[in-house]
Structure 1
Amino acid sequence: MDCLRLVPLALTCLAAPAQAGDLNLKLVDTAGRPVGDAVVTVRPAGGIPPGPIRFSWPTTMVQQNIAFAPHVLVVPVGTTVRFPNKDKVRHHVYSFSKPAKFEIKLFGQDETRSYTFTSTGAVALGCNIHDQMSGFIKVVDTPFAIKSDAAGTARLVGMATGTAQVTIWHPLLKAKDNEIVVNIPIPGSGAASKTVPLTLRSGR
């Protein structure tokens, strides 16, 4: 075939967009109430696209008002998370979780410490000084990850068409490792919408 005839064909192939769809989830408890702070991660049928993973929110967990803020933070694996202390008292951050066992010893107001998370999974945080403090960092290896808002909604966009493996994690979820997996077909265009009921332990 003439080379000149091949060029338009190649350009047509490059210009054709890959099929991609979105996912809209509504997460509720067994009483139908919205569930916030649930982490949704998706592995599309076509796999995870190459390249670094970055999210739009800060990779910071603040100690303020004797609490971790946000209560749940989602970060890509390999992220260094900053822990600024905005309280007038000192804090001591620690975790016994398998993906990250560490402790950050006492540091005071307007001081910041940090830790790099090198393994995926859920990391539960506490403070040795204030037993009521708890926080969670979900370390993920997919760019398709989001935390549900106060209305229980979670939306992810631009995933390859096909059946996707969707994992839903929540610190109070009654399931192994506090997570469940559902398979949801992603359309070639538009959005898949689904309401997922979650059975939670008491403590909401």
Structure 2
Amino acid sequence: MTLVSGRRGLAAVVMTTVIALQPLRAGNLTLSVTGADGEPLRDAVAYVESSELSVRVDDDARPEGEVDQRNQQFLPHAQAIRRGTSVRFPNNDQVRHHVFSFSEAKTFELRLFADEAPRPIHFDTAGVVVLGCNIHDHMIGYLLIVDTPVFGNADDDGVIRLDGVPDDPEATLRVWHPELGEDDMGMTVDMNGDTRVAASMNVTDTPPPEPRGLRDRRRNLQDRFD
């Protein structure tokens, strides 16, 4: 595997192959991601880019995603979804929320009330979407919209499992975390059956500062609706 730097090199990633089993046309990849403090990165996501992966935007082929509002948090805090997915934003708090995004990949506003089923939001452009709440400044979440069917989100142990990774010498495994912003880090994947990979990123799961410009835009919304 060959290390590929991020677009601006915001964080260093060190990856090593732990074990590879019998050759297969497509295999399963297990990625263990840790942060600068050596602790698992629960907010990390990973995806594979390859010319062998057929990508089509087909609404009927996408399961509906979900970002919950619970205890005045976006849950999950960060996740990857495939381009063309519609995402629900249920409000399971007993207070009102006003979810919005000014990200280039998707701009929207969605007023949420308790016990009300809001309309799903369709994400049809790849990129990073930063979520905010116009009522609760501390609420920030992230969606990474990917243009590939092979992607996964870290569990509580920082483990990401990817199924159907093609045996393609040009395939690239990319790892992303909210602290990287619009960047990601990656390496080419030399799949040889079921493969285990360890990755260390120079970031932590500590919530990053509010993205630049988000607070001003939040205030603009408040001026419009208050």
- Answer yes or no: same fold by TM over 0.5: yes
CA deviation string 1:11-41 (max 9, x = no partner) = xxxxxxx722221211111232111121101
User: What is aligned with 2:203?
Assistant: 200
Equivalent residue runs for 1:152-171 within 5 Å:
152-163=158-169, 164-171=171-178
- Letter of the structure 1 residue corresponding to residue 173 of structure 2: V
Larger CA deviation: 86-95 vs 150-159: 150-159
User: What is aligned with 2:10?
Assistant: none
SS at match of 2:87: strand
Distance 1:158 1:89 in 2: 42
SS at match of 1:172: helix
Whether 1:41 aligns to 2:42 is no
Is residue 172–residue 203 contact of structure 1 (8 Å, CA) maintained in 2?
A: no
SS at match of 2:89: strand
Distance 1:73 1:193 in 2: 21
By relative contact order (CA 8 Å, sep 6+), the higher-ranking structure is 2
The structure that has the greater radius of gyration is 1
Two-structure CA RMSD over aligned residues (Å) = 2.1
Equivalent residue runs for 1:134-153 within 5 Å:
134-153=140-159
Q: Tell me how many residue pairs correspond in the alignment.
A: 179
- Letter of the structure 1 residue corresponding to residue 30 of structure 2: N
Distance 1:134 1:196 in 2: 25
SS at match of 2:29: strand
Structure 2: tracts of 5 or more residues without a match: 1-23, 208-226
Whether 1:62 aligns to 2:34 is no
User: What is aligned with 1:103?
Assistant: 109
Equivalent residue runs for 1:1-204 within 5 Å:
19-44=25-50, 46-49=51-54, 54=62, 59-105=65-111, 107-113=112-118, 114-163=120-169, 164-173=171-180, 177-187=182-192, 190-200=193-203, 203-204=206-207
Is residue 122–residue 138 contact of structure 1 (8 Å, CA) maintained in 2?
A: yes
